[in-house]
A and B are shown apart, each in its own frame.
Chain A
Amino acid sequence: MELEALQQIHSEVRILGAGIVVITPERERYTRALHKKLNLSFDILTDLHLKIAEQFRLVFTLPDYLRDLYKSFGSTLDRFNDEPEYRLPMPARYVIDKDGIIRVADVNADYTIRPEPSETLKQLQALSEAAAD
């Protein structure tokens, strides 16, 4: 749902001179399928073994009891992510300015909560206005 919502703001993001990139531990065969299915105009990068998420300090290990539950649903992260330790990134959305400084950070351990893309757009507008001053 979040990727579709980001897709809806992408053209406006581009008008502001900004970009969107999605980072996921999923392997390329799955990102390729997802990208095609959702008809996205931004890239999804494969963060193999969570090297990027580690640098943003977002990585956690699923507890055994949850791993077993997901397995019972048929979700096997070792296959999708080549991640036998069942580690995942917390969902997070960052806005980084062109100097590489984080200007907005939305990080939530509860994966059912996400910031609105319309808010992200407003934050980019504010950044672009500040840059024009």
Chain B
Amino acid sequence: MASLQQRLNDFKQAFESGAPPYNAPHEAIETMHRATAELKATGIEDRALKVGDRAPSFTSFSQDHVQINSTDLLRQGPLVVSFFRGHW
């Protein structure tokens, strides 16, 4: 299977072509590019937690409404934590 980034690139290309099924207007794509560039320019990436920092412990509810604690997860071994903005 193609790499994740390759598939993301393919999707981006299809979306930004303005063709069906997305039919994204050119102005909308420009707006999205502008927002990403502006966000990058704020330096927010450099302020995020980095390699060597201690990860904050966290507790939250899973999709099955089970309370999950990061300390319990780390007791079992290393942890990959992925922040996902949503399905929309």
Query: Which A residues form the contact surface with B (CB < 8 A)?
Result: 1-3, 5-6, 8, 13, 16-26, 28, 30-32, 34-36, 43-48, 51-53, 55-58, 60, 62-63, 65-66, 69-70, 72-73, 75, 77, 80-81, 88-105, 107-114, 116-118, 120, 124, 127-128
15 A-B residue pairs with CB within 8 Å: A8-B1, A19-B76, A21-B80, A24-B86, A36-B63, A44-B84, A45-B61, A52-B60, A56-B48, A56-B56, A58-B48, A58-B83, A65-B35, A89-B85, A103-B51
Interface contact B44-A5, CB-CB below 8 Å: no
Interface contact B4-A32, CB-CB below 8 Å: no
- Nearest 3 A/B pairs, CB to CB: A55-B56, A17-B77, A45-B60
B12 within 8 A of A: yes
Interface contact A23-B47, CB-CB below 8 Å: no
Interface contact A100-B74, CB-CB below 8 Å: yes
Say whether chain B's binding surface is mostly helix, strand, loop, or mixed.
mixed
The distance in angstroms between the C-alpha atoms of A13 and B15, with both chains bound, is 32
Query: Which B residues form the contact surface with A (CB < 8 A)?
Result: 1, 3-5, 7-9, 11-12, 28, 31-32, 35-36, 38-40, 42, 44-45, 47-58, 60-66, 68, 70, 73-88
Q: A21-B68, A60-B44 are in contact. Are A31 and B78 (CB under 8 A)?
A: no
Q: How far is the CB of A53 from chain B (nearest CB, A)?
A: 6
